[in-house]
Amino acid sequence: MKKLIFKSISIEDKDIISSYTLNSNYQNCDFAFANMCSWQFLYKSEYAVSDGFLFIRFYIDDKKRLAYMLPIGNGDLKYAIGILEKDAEVMGHPLLILGITQESKEKIDFMFPGKFTYLQERNYFDYIYLHKDLVTLKGKKFQSKRNHINKFKKNYSYSFLPITPDIIPQCIEVENIWCKANLNENDKEALEQENRSMLFSMQNFEKLGLTGGTIIVDGKIKAFTYGSPINNNTFGIHVEKADISYEGIFSLINQEFAIRIPEQYTFINREEDLGLPGLRQSKLSYNPVLLLEKNAAVRRRKPHQTAPEGRL
């Protein structure tokens, strides 16, 4: 079986990685190249291309555990997973594949009956919406969103401005202010990591293929958001920040940006809630058309293997 040669993911790898991800059926936000690249500092993500597949591996649990994403390609998936298993064995880890959807789980069980154990990871489910729903906000189920937007428009005069290189410094300033205002000991590490990822994204905005927008009130940026394609029919929203003292501003920027996302993207993925109650409530309130289930799949131990530490 062929040995994979992995290399660290960098901006220069966008075209080769995107040639696989954009043409896949995977809607998982982790397959957005901008996410892979901007979080590389934390997960040490690497990729390899072999036998018509893209392979991605990375580290979790403070870089103690090696994990993989499901291979992307049009060849023999069973063979490709076998390659991952061999690589994991060489690296001294049991094979752990993250982001496994229900559909992928069924495929794996068909190819490897009884060989994998699964752990459902509710905090990492993706919230996927119909693009047209976020644009029109039609119907009773979106009444509260329309009310928030109307209240904002009644109280403030605003403009929507796309994110361009000349206003990125202002967005970074808004993020730094937001981060300082929300920093506490419980969330300090997570917020600092998010801030680092966002600064990288902002500094490499066009190279990462990102698009975004801002809400301007009294000549100053009060909210901004940005995202990128996950595949050819799903667009991912990676970041949305706003000054919460402006009631309705989150609902407003959500709709304003959705209006400007190209119509080819039938779905919008607003990513995970990370188990945060407020974030979960907010994302559910937008009535997702799909709550994309994600599981961790670990290859059952062979007799000579020791039990892995951590998630499973």
Q: What is the mean pLDDT of residues 168-194?
A: 82
Q: Are residues 141 and 80 in the same domain?
A: no
Lowest mean pLDDT, pick from 147-161, 187-201, 276-290: 187-201
Q: Is 60 contained in some domain?
A: yes
Residues 239 and 227 in one domain: yes
Structural domain includes residue 39: yes
- Kindly state whether residues 58 and 182 are assigned to the same domain: no
Distance separating alpha carbons of residues 59 and 92, to the nearest angstrom: 13
pLDDT given for residue 141 in this prediction: 96
Query: Domain with 204 in it: what CATH number?
Result: 3.40.630.30
Sheet holding 267-269, edge to edge: 158-162, 211-217, 220-231, 234-242, 267-269, 126-130, 290-292
112 with 43, same domain?
yes
Does residue 307 lie within any of the structural domains? Answer: no
Per-residue pLDDT band for 182 (boundaries 50, 70, 90) equals: confident
In a shared domain, residues 135 and 116: no
The pLDDT assigned to 285 comes to 96
Question: Do 51 and 80 share a structural domain?
Answer: yes
**Residue-range definition of the domain harbouring residue 145:** 128-290
Is residue 199 in a domain?
A: yes
The reply to whether 2 falls in a domain is no
Return the percentage of the chain with pLDDT > 90, whole number: 84
Q: What is the pLDDT of residue 310?
A: 45
For the CA atoms of the chain, what is the radius of gyration?
Answer: 20
The answer, yes or no, to whether residue 200 has pLDDT greater than 70, is yes
Residue range 111-124, pLDDT digits in tens: 999 999 999 999 99
* Shared domain check, 259 and 157: yes
**Distance, CA of 137 to CA of 304 (rounded, Å):** 56
Q: Does 121 share its domain with 170?
A: no
Query: 250 and 163, same structural domain?
Result: yes
Residues 235 and 284 in one domain: yes
Shared-domain flag, residues 139 and 241: yes
Over range 10-34, report the average pLDDT. Answer: 97
Q: Report how many domains make up the chain.
A: 2
Residues 156, 278 share a domain: yes
pLDDT band at 1 (very low <50, low <70, confident <90, very high): low
- Reported as a pLDDT band with limits 50, 70 and 90, residue 302 is low
pLDDT tens digits, one per residue of 67-113: 999 999 999 999 999 999 999 999 999 999 999 999 999 999 999 99
